[in-house]
Structure 1
Amino acid sequence: MKPIASSELIINGRGAIYHLDLRPEELATTIITVGDPDRVKEVSKHFDTIEFQAQHREFITHTGYIGKKRVSVVSTGIGPDNIDIVLNELDALANIDFETRTIKPELTSLNIIRIGTSGSLQEDIPVDGFVAGTHGLGIDNLLNYYRHEQNDEEKLLLQAFSTQTQFHHNFSNPYISSASAGLLKHFVDGFHHGITVTCPGFYGPQGRVLRLGLSNPELVDRLTGFRYGQHRISNFEMETSAIYGLGKLMGHHCLSLNAIVANRVARTFSKDGQAAVNNLIVKSLGIIEQIA
């Protein structure tokens, strides 16, 4: 097998991958991702022990134990472009031999669970509530840079989405990927379920108007109104579809959990978003510790 060139797989002087500044042994196979670098310590403060900490740019990692379970928490920063970096580098740490620069013959599947914040697109999913995304629907274009195929259910969902929302291809070519069923089944009690839409920005792409007009001002209403069988769009944010899409292509198990800090239908905002996030962290860690 031909080694991967140094320009493609960048390894620094201490044998760590370029952006995350991690060596393979410093990463657990169960990984929590958070957007905000400051949120890493808010997760790891609940660990029983912390064995390793690293920071490079916006990417902070703490690896330790919850009981007997080894867990890493990694900050990604905001947006699907950062997820492209993080998912590829997490996969490389697990599945590429850094000495030979070749793909390992036996691949490792990681459990990757996002704990983040989001805006609700349904009036009955209130601020301070929790959403576990059944699917990540991307209007961000990232996955279109990779060879991928949609299964039959995904094709039907995309067709219905394009028809009902009139989402034109001059924005992007939407894609959809499902959550890991093996992880999702553990996050039912206390969680709303639905499709999470991932946007390439916070203002215009999420229908916010400050000084600039929108080219598709009805988009938010159309996302809220989307239905296909039992499926509806529950919320939107800026990372989930990239995690689900790349993770699925790489053979990892991914799930996105979000605390709702804004309800875009009721036009309400959480009075204490940090408390909502902390509640989600505590609830999720209790479940993650029990997952085999």
Structure 2
Amino acid sequence: MIPKSELILNPDGSVYHLNLKPENIARDIIFVGDPDRVEKITRLFDSIEFSTQKREFKTQTGTYKGKRLTVLSTGIGADNIDIVLNELDALVNIDLETRTIKKELTSLNIIRIGTSGSLQADIPVNAFVLSKIGLGLDTMLRSYQNDSVTITALEEAFIKHTNWDIRKGRPYAVHCSEKLEKQFENDNIHKGVTATAGGFFGPQGRVLRLAIQDENLNNKMDSFNYNGTRITNLEMETTAIYGLSALLGHHALSLNAIIANRANGTFSSNPDEAIEKLIDYVLCKIIEEGTQILIN
């Protein structure tokens, strides 16, 4: 039995941070960072059956063209992803009444719709990037036994190429879901490695008043290449989603609208339009291909 101190429930039986019960979520879940972005998606739904918000975690579940979907805001950063993924997994794979792990486990399908900055000059603003691999610079997954899902060779190559200061923690790399990659890929969508930083300013090479540990890190990441795959973009959630999903047996894919190009210093003149187009694309692909609950 899992102790009350480890799996915290609210008085109504919902999981502590997300304020959700098992019946409140679909098996196909769209992640967004910003709570205000949830309704930019669900306003397109035919109906909404459930809505709740606690702190930055806003959830709405409804039906889009006959498909039951959940949209959930994670807030910013890998630490929030740690909360969201573990509590979602508890909703489907732990009996909350007996506090025991279920014998039959359910795999969720998780698609992240995000915004990001491109590190490559030839990936322009308003383009879409599919994260084939996540490269975590945030170290969150290192709190778990992760050898079964991480790509050690890529990690070693990155550490060597960038002369990475190991005092910042060892980076970790994880593949996206192959099933979801095939479902959502498109010739017009860029693919590559998405680097997940542990912060927005110094960890992403931004300098305001504080000097950073390696002022050339972004340039080093620009030129990194692993078996023909380069680092396309930099953000704050993708690799944490990939790592925890892989360890827990869920399928995860991250898609980003590029609203800034760090290589040439440009920013989208209409970032909202880029996000809306990515939302339309994701919803279309979910309906076109369909998704499937996998029982492990």
| TM category, shorter | over 0.9
Q: Is the 8 A contact 1:59 1:75 kept in 2?
A: yes
Return the alpha-carbon distance in structure 2 between the equivalents of residues 113 and 25 of structure 1: 20
Q: Is the 8 A contact 1:96 1:102 kept in 2?
A: yes
The aligned amino acid for 2:135 is L
One of 174, 178, 198 as aligned partner of 2:175: 178
- Aligned twin of 1:50: 48
Q: Is the 8 A contact 1:62 1:74 kept in 2?
A: yes
- Aligned twin of 1:28: 26
Residues 48-102 of structure 1: CA distance to partner in whole angstroms, max 9, x if unpaired? Answer: 1111101111110000111221110000000000000000001000100011110
Return the alpha-carbon distance in structure 1 between the equivalents of residues 124 and 132 of structure 2: 18
Give the 3-state SS of the residue equivalent to 1:186 in structure 2: helix
Q: Is the 8 A contact 2:193 2:230 kept in 1?
A: yes
Alpha-carbon offset, residue 150 of structure 1 = 5.1
Task: Tell me whether 1:158 sits opposite 2:155 in the alignment.
Answer: yes
- Aligned twin of 2:184: 187
Q: Is the 8 A contact 2:113 2:254 kept in 1?
A: yes
- Residue-pair matches, total: 289
Alpha-carbon offset, residue 188 of structure 1 = 2.1
1:272-291 to 2 correspondences below 5 Å: 272-290=270-288, 291=290
Return the alpha-carbon distance in structure 2 between the equivalents of residues 233 and 119 of structure 1: 11
Return the alpha-carbon distance in structure 2 between the equivalents of residues 151 and 226 of structure 1: 21
Q: Is the 8 A contact 1:150 1:176 kept in 2?
A: no
Percent identity of equivalent pairs:
54
Give the 3-state SS of the residue equivalent to 2:174 in structure 1: strand
The aligned amino acid for 1:169 is I
- Aligned twin of 1:270: 268
The aligned amino acid for 1:164 is H
Alpha-carbon offset, residue 187 of structure 1 = 2.1
- Aligned twin of 2:194: 196
The aligned amino acid for 1:83 is I
Residues 238-275 of structure 1: CA distance to partner in whole angstroms, max 9, x if unpaired? Answer: 00010000000000000001010110001101111111
Return the alpha-carbon distance in structure 1 between the equivalents of residues 103 and 181 of structure 2: 29
Moved more, 43-52 or 237-246: 43-52
- Aligned twin of 2:103: 105
Return the alpha-carbon distance in structure 2 between the equivalents of residues 226 and 134 of structure 1: 15
Residues 77-130 of structure 1: CA distance to partner in whole angstroms, max 9, x if unpaired? Answer: 000000000000010001000111100000000001110110101111110110
Alpha-carbon offset, residue 151 of structure 1 = 6.0
1:4-153 to 2 correspondences below 5 Å: 4-149=2-147
Q: Is the 8 A contact 2:149 2:246 kept in 1?
A: no
1:210-289 to 2 correspondences below 5 Å: 210-289=208-287
- With the length of structure 2 as denominator, give the TM-score of the two structures: 0.96
Give the 3-state SS of the residue equivalent to 1:182 in structure 2: helix
Give the 3-state SS of the residue equivalent to 2:89 in structure 1: helix
Q: Provide the alpha-carbon RMSD of the alignment.
A: 1.1
Structure 2 unaligned blocks of 5 or more: 292-296
Give the 3-state SS of the residue equivalent to 2:106 in structure 1: coil
- With the length of structure 1 as denominator, give the TM-score of the two structures: 0.97
Give the 3-state SS of the residue equivalent to 2:50 in structure 1: strand
Moved more, 105-114 or 160-169: 160-169
Give the 3-state SS of the residue equivalent to 2:166 in structure 1: coil
